[in-house]
Amino acid sequence: MKKKLNKISIDDTMPHQINSPDFKDTNMEMEPPFVNDYGVVIGDSQYSSDQSPLEQWSDEIDPAIMSGEEWIHPTNDIGWNTRENRELIENKKKPNASPFMHPTKDVSHGKD
């Protein structure tokens, strides 16, 4: 069972990550960090928790315990910083038209 923590974004962005996407105007809400079933904080951008198997690694730990959705944050994951995933976010945004332009029609065509 996930325990939600305080939100760490500023204006739907992650300013502490230089290549992080801007979620504004995408209909995707930044989600707060959470604590997974192993007591590890996911999505706090610290990438280290005392309870993490990575911090207590030994030959007895099966790496498979760190797979699955409870190890991935939906909006603060390093995977969003890739070009392909940033494009997914950018494509969700509405076109940014000026107040005198139609977003999909060139109303000045043939007027000059």
86-112 tens-digit pLDDT:
888 888 877 665 556 666 766 666 665
Handedness of CA 95, 99, 103, 108 (dihedral sign): negative
pLDDT (tens digit, 9 = 90+) per residue, 20-49? Answer: 777 788 888 888 888 998 888 888 877 778
What is the pLDDT confidence band of residue 1, given thresholds at 50, 70 and 90? low
d(C-alpha 37, C-alpha 3), whole Å: 9
pLDDT at 56: 84
What does the pLDDT read at residue 15?
58
Nearest C-alpha neighbor of 68 from the set 92, 37, 46: 37
pLDDT digits (tens, 9 = 90+) for 48-77: 788 888 888 888 888 898 888 888 888 888
Residue 94 lies in a domain: no
Owning domain of residue 57: 1-85
- 33 in a structural domain: yes
Residue 48 lies in a domain: yes
On whether residue 26 sits in a domain, the answer given is: yes
Answer whether residue 100 is part of any domain: no
* Number of domains forming the structure of the chain: 1
24 vs 2, which has greater pLDDT? 24
72 in a domain, yes or no? yes
pTM, full prediction: 0.63
Q: Give pLDDT, residue 112.
A: 58
pLDDT at 86: 85
Please check whether residue 96 lies inside any domain of the structure.
no
Question: Domain for residue 28, yes or no?
Answer: yes
